[in-house]
Structure 1
Amino acid sequence: MRHADWWERRWFCAFLIIVSATPLLWPQTPPLVDVPGHMGRFRVQLDLDHSEHLQRYFEFNWALIGNLGVDLLVEFLGPLIGVELAVKLIVIAIPPLTVVGLMWIAREIHGRVPPTIMFAVPFIYGYPFNFGFINFSLSLAFALIAFGYWLRLANSAKLGLRAALFLPISCLLWITHAFGWGVLGLLAFSSELVRQRDEGSDWRSSLLRSVLAMSSLGLPLLLMLLWRTGAVAGETDQFFHILAKLFALVATLRDRWLIWDSFGVGAAVVLIGASIFDKRLERSRKLTIPTVILAVTFFIMPARVFGSAYADMRLAPLMFMTAVLAIRVRCDGLTGDRWLAWLGLAFMLLRLGGNTISFAIADLDARRWLTALAHIPKGSAVATLTGDYCSERWAMPRHTHLGSFVVIRREGFSNDQWQAAGAQLLRINYPKARYFVDDRSTFIYSDACIAHTEEISERPLEYDHSPKAALRAIPRDAFDFIWMIDPPDYKMRARPGLVPVWRTHDAILYRIDKTFVAPVRSPITD
């Protein structure tokens, strides 16, 4: 009997699960771009009924949609421990749950945990997760665990039980996030196709039987038809933007440092390439074919699906995870297996260490900027303007939704909440804000960014947002404060009708002087 190597032992599996959460332990709030915006929605969700301040600005109505994973968990945990701690604990749980899913899949495919799992773990902190797509990321973790169970039942020849159990499992996964359900469908179909072929069925029979097996995952299709029809269908567009897709692959590990993040992707590409050309390595078809199907889906999927942006980009980290997890050394006990394990351990610890440092830097920046909240009275309306440098910076723009802390901690209004038909349960009801009502209005651009966009497009940026143009356009009767965070090409000083009450070298909070009268010169059409 073969003895388990160190990377297969229970203590090391437990270590992998725990260490995967390390980057998220120190920050007060998970430093993921969209997370403060989600937390603002959760605050409204929990407190709207007994907050007169929030009732001035927002509406919230429950409905069955395929995007409720963290929302439902916060509904349970928020009243017990508060919104901020609840969100932190939920987000911290996502990487360990994803590792559990990867381990389960590996055991079902390889019969053991291969050393290549350590090359897969860092891709949990990929572009989608760092962007703060937390419902999607939670659903992906659940989808991987569900796929492991799908494989276990198939390996145990319990196909009837599998069909019965995955009817409710698929619905719960869809409710968490519809993309997770879609991912499970792709993985399950492709693995079932391989299983049918391994049992001797021809291609036609294998396809038919695989489609039939998918019927146990089909119930959410009815929910999808009810959810995404009519006024809440949302736009599906931006097909075949090949350059954008190639960028998404290069940026799969995008966090803060271009060379470091690109090197991480390059290391995974080298490993995948080696598995193709090096005779000492081989690939499991039960994961290789799913990877190929994910890749094909990635390239044909539009960038926006039902109004959800970056739809294709969300598949990139999963493609790398399944691609490296499919790799194994041909003969057990060879020195190459152990070398691969040590290289994988080094890669994982270096990547997670980099994420930990990056997240700590982001947390320090956020804490410094959030000291402005002490100068904002409860219930205030704040127009938040955050710097956007287009492609001039690689670091994730983690400051773009900090304005939502006005909602979270001051029960006020900030213009950085997003509204997409059918995608969220929050509705903004503040017509006085006019154009400055949602997150489209929060971005301000550098002169170089605006000039570059005007050069390559028939029209400038969708919204004319140099810092000065934005300041002129804000309806000052609707807001009490203007909060500028990392504004490009802007000097932090007093302006007509704007009184600085707090500032740092890269941010400023203005109190709007309601007695000041100035001519209306808005470049933006309401």
Structure 2
Amino acid sequence: MDRGEALHWWQTRWFVAAAALLAVVPLLWPDIPPLVDLPGHMGRYRVQLEHAQHPWLLEWYNFEWSLIGNLGVDLLIIPLEKIFGLELAVKLIVMTIPPLTVIGLLWIAREVHGRIPATTLFALPLAYAFPFHFGFVNFALSMALALNAFALWLRLARLGRLRLRAILFVPISFLVWITHTFGWGTLGVLAFSAELIRQHDLRRKPGRPWNVGLVDSWVVPWFWAGIHCLVLAPPALLMLAWRSGAVSGQTTDMFNWRAKMLWITQVFRDRWQLFDIASVGVLFLLLFKAVRDPNIQYSRNLGLSAIFLLLVYIFLPRIVFGSAYADMRLVPFLIAIAIVAIRPKPGLSIRGAATVAMLGLAFYGARIAGTTWSFLLYDQAYDRELKALEHLPVGSRLVSFVGETCYNEWRMTRLQHLPGLALERRLSYTNDQWSMQGGQLMTVRYLSDRPRRDIARRFIHDPSQMVTDVQCPREYWRPVAWMLVNMPRDAFDYVWVIRPPAYDRRLEQGLIPLWRGEDGSALFKVDRDVPAPVPTTRDLPRPRPLKDFAEDGSQIVNSMSPDF
């Protein structure tokens, strides 16, 4: 705790402000933050804002407002779009997430330790962890809010303002839940573990008549910690109402140990595998050092929080309520809390604390620099592909095919949902939108004319936009040749292929090229006067032998799952 010593540079307010501003840097240049799922969400925002203004949107998409735990950016975009326009508004919202995460981690460290330990700086790069790169923006915003709410919870307890805390955290719990339910659940775990330690310490104070016995020291605190955390419970009623009946979704794939180990190694997954894995190694080296060094200890408060989060991670299925990557999203925050828990033992200081702080700052700066350069390269790829939209009429019926491989390649193209920008910019139909009732406010229905809808149903929503060279095991994706041959040409007016696998150009029969880009990308207009190509045996799906894959299956599992 604070021993009245002078603040070091990494413990000052100006450093907190500078660290938060540094977290914004990677997002300054790109017009559209290059996050995998974000372009698809932007298409949904456009429908949300203009659904009733265009009859073709009413025909293609169903949009109904309801109170669900996945509305963070969806609500913020309403007032901000009127001021900045949709794309800039989305960018500004996304730009707030990393600095909020950094501030939350530093604030938690300050409340728990009294001063920010130098080792806390190593946790800051986790503001740009794999879940954020994936474009789970509602989730990431909710977790950033949850970290800051937890810091406030700790501060009010430290000041003895328990009644004020109880009053404030009823609306705060609703705010975090509405942003995304995952943040609310994490806040509950963190708050309960912290309150459990506080209640335990109250009963160990000298002179307390019940400061004897196991029951009063360990059992009673569980009861009172639960009582204090009841102020966080009201959103559970909304959760029950939301996730009941037809919108409950599937919960499955528990104890997938191979996947859980992969998520840990991929916590920084972005572009350069060696750099990203080495960065994970730095964090685990620090955690291991804290266990072995006699001058360093873990805060019981945050140490218990990290243990609770670890248990949640172990028991959390990979798919919850139909949403994939549920357990993966927790990993960076589990590691961050464990790192923030590190501090020097009382009466001692970390040898060379300034050196440790400089190393931590260098690590943070290196990760920010790498992410900035990576985002610049992704932004250039976006710019090249989006030139196709200059040739696409407003309100057109567009089917898109985005190239993918059967291998779980470290660097994702970030193009998987780029077709969503055709909906956002040109109000065109796009087949990359998710259609999961209850998971988000918009579902896909495409056409009210049943025969035409039935013909196109395999091509109308995610993951029909993903194409490969051959049929991948355990995937819904189809080979590009099969898709070009079998797509219902009377249901769509235009075809957009984005970096597809190599295919026979004869399959473009009946498609008029309007634009061609690099790596095989092209925009076509469907010519219905020319018959579709006749499929051959090589145009049929051919599975890749399982022996060609790594032990983990080597495929991106449900990479198109919605941000929920």
TM-score, normalising length from structure 2? 0.88
Instruction: Confirm or deny that 1:315 pairs with 2:338.
Output: no
State the 1:403 CA deviation.
Answer: 0.2
Instruction: Confirm or deny that 1:23 pairs with 2:46.
Output: no
- In the TM superposition, what are the counterparts of 1:91-490 in structure 2 within 5 Å? 91-200=94-203, 201-330=216-345, 334-431=350-447, 432=453, 433-447=456-470, 450=471, 453=473, 461-463=475-477, 465-490=478-503
| Residue type at the aligned position of 1:443 | M
Equivalent residue number for residue 38 of structure 2? 35
State the 1:29 CA deviation.
Answer: 0.3
Equivalent residue number for residue 450 of structure 2? none
Structure 2 gap segments, 5+ residues each: 204-215, 448-452, 542-564
> 1: CA distance between counterparts of 2:123 and 2:325?
21
In terms of mean alpha carbon deviation, does 384-393 or 73-82 score higher?
384-393
In terms of mean alpha carbon deviation, does 126-135 or 503-512 score higher?
503-512
State the 1:519 CA deviation.
Answer: 7.3
> 1: CA distance between counterparts of 2:93 and 2:183?
17
1:376-410 Cα deviation digits (max 9, x unpaired): 11111111111222335211230001101111110
State the 1:333 CA deviation.
Answer: 5.5
State the 1:491 CA deviation.
Answer: 5.7
State the 1:421 CA deviation.
Answer: 2.1
| Residue type at the aligned position of 1:42 | Y
Structure 1 gap segments, 5+ residues each: 454-459
Equivalent residue number for residue 12 of structure 1? 15
Aligned length: 514
> 2: CA distance between counterparts of 1:391 and 1:510?
28
> 2: CA distance between counterparts of 1:299 and 1:226?
27
1:46–1:79 Cα contact (<8 Å) kept: no
In terms of mean alpha carbon deviation, does 508-517 or 414-423 score higher?
508-517
State the 1:116 CA deviation.
Answer: 2.1
Equivalent residue number for residue 551 of structure 2? none
> 2: CA distance between counterparts of 1:9 and 1:194?
27
Residues 491 and 504 of structure 1, relative CA distance in 2, 3 Å threshold:
farther
SS in 1 for 2:35: coil
> 2: CA distance between counterparts of 1:101 and 1:47?
35
State the 1:323 CA deviation.
Answer: 1.1
Residues 519 and 359 of structure 1, relative CA distance in 2, 3 Å threshold:
closer
1:468-487 Cα deviation digits (max 9, x unpaired): 01112211111111111121
Equivalent residue number for residue 516 of structure 2? 503
Equivalent residue number for residue 517 of structure 1? 531
State the 1:159 CA deviation.
Answer: 1.8
1:239-297 Cα deviation digits (max 9, x unpaired): 11110010011001111111111111110000000000111221111111111111111
> 2: CA distance between counterparts of 1:276 and 1:320?
14
1:186–1:293 Cα contact (<8 Å) kept: yes
Residues 393 and 334 of structure 1, relative CA distance in 2, 3 Å threshold:
closer
> 2: CA distance between counterparts of 1:492 and 1:116?
57
RMSD: 1.7
> 2: CA distance between counterparts of 1:157 and 1:420?
45
> 1: CA distance between counterparts of 2:261 and 2:43?
33
State the 1:356 CA deviation.
Answer: 0.4
TM-score, normalising length from structure 1? 0.94
| Residue type at the aligned position of 1:382 | L
> 2: CA distance between counterparts of 1:332 and 1:368?
56
1:146-178 Cα deviation digits (max 9, x unpaired): 101111111112222212221111111111100
State the 1:520 CA deviation.
Answer: 7.9
SS in 2 for 1:204: helix
> 1: CA distance between counterparts of 2:331 and 2:504?
39
> 2: CA distance between counterparts of 1:343 and 1:446?
45
